[in-house]
Chain A
Amino acid sequence: MLPPKLATPYVTARGGGLKTCKQEGCDNAVKDKRPVNLDLGTIRLPLAAYTSILHRISGVIVFIGIAILLWLFDLSLGSEDGFNTIRQTLDSFMARLVLWGILSALAYHLVAGIRHLLMDMGIADGKASGTNSARLVVVVGILLILVLGGWLWPAV
């Protein structure tokens, strides 16, 4: 236990983040025996947390999707027939949708990954700048996914 006159940090679940109480008389105003909520399922997470978990999910999708990409790569380089088979296969809407899904996951993973790399270098690793860069990841990610859609469905 800390001496009672020291300002004790406490966790609040209401604001969704950490708050440190440093004001005088704070100990009297707020009891630090209040329950601490660290259950991620009930805490409202910041945007950066969602872009981060999406980075992991997209990584797993790419991990599985590489099998399909390698299969396409194999077909495309194996023979001219194989190369043309891809064209025919991609005439199917479902095939294009699957490829779009994999490439979208890859595009998002790439953008969110660049954000993490920049943060490792100390760029946009603050609270406000981190939220802004997370917004940027969402915007650029959606743009890239739309560009990929336009590439896969050029006639539409």
Chain B
Amino acid sequence: MAGRVSSVSSLGRSGLYDWMVQRVSAVLMLAYILFLVIVLVRTPDMQYADWQAIFALTWVKIFSLITLLALCAHAWVGMWTIATDYLTGAMLGSAATCIRFGFQSACLIVLLAYFVWGVQILWSV
């Protein structure tokens, strides 16, 4: 199981799983962006009451939460890809593993903060 070593910090600990998560989350976020664009186009002079009413809808909250989750998963896989492509021994020498670990830890903290923050915003509507 030598392959497991390099996938220890991947999301699903399998490349195929991460590949799928990356794409499914992308399509979900695409749908959400289209939804937001439609909302903004249909209400050109958006006021607070209109905006608040949209996010008070249960289905919009669920859609937003799913998108937030998709965003975090997508960003994790994306940053993992970048970290394991560029923060490598070939690029950084013997410190690479430490730097990559620090970078990925920072990404994880940022994404957790985004998630909690996003949930809090949606919860308060």
- Residue ranges of A at the interface with B (Cβ–Cβ < 8 Å): 56, 59-60, 63, 66-67, 70, 73-74, 76-80, 83-84, 106, 110, 113-114, 117, 120
| Residues from 61 to 114 in B contacting A, C-beta threshold 8 Å | 71, 75, 78-79, 81-82, 107, 110, 114
User: For chains A and B in complex, what number of residue pairs have CB atoms within 8 angstroms?
Assistant: 52
On whether the beta carbons of A70 and B117 are closer than 8 Å, the reply is yes
Count of B interface residues, CB-CB < 8 Å: 24
**Chain B residues with Cβ under 8 A from A114's Cβ?**
30
Asked if A77 contacts B51 (CB within 8 A), the reply is yes
With A77-B125, A84-B48: A60-B82 Cβ-Cβ less than 8 Å: yes
A77→B121 CA distance, assembly (Å): 7
- With A84-B48, A114-B30 as contacts: A78 and B124 at CB distance below 8 Å: yes
Are B48 and A80 interface neighbours, CB within 8 A? yes
Inter-chain contacts of A59 with B (CB < 8 A): 75, 78, 82
Q: How far is the CA of A56 from the CA of B83 in the complex (A)?
A: 11
* CB-CB under 8 A for A67 and B23, given A59-B78, A84-B48: no
Contact A67 B121 (CB under 8 A): no
- A117 and B121: CB pair below 8 A? no
Complex interface: chain A residues within 8 A of B125 (CB): 77
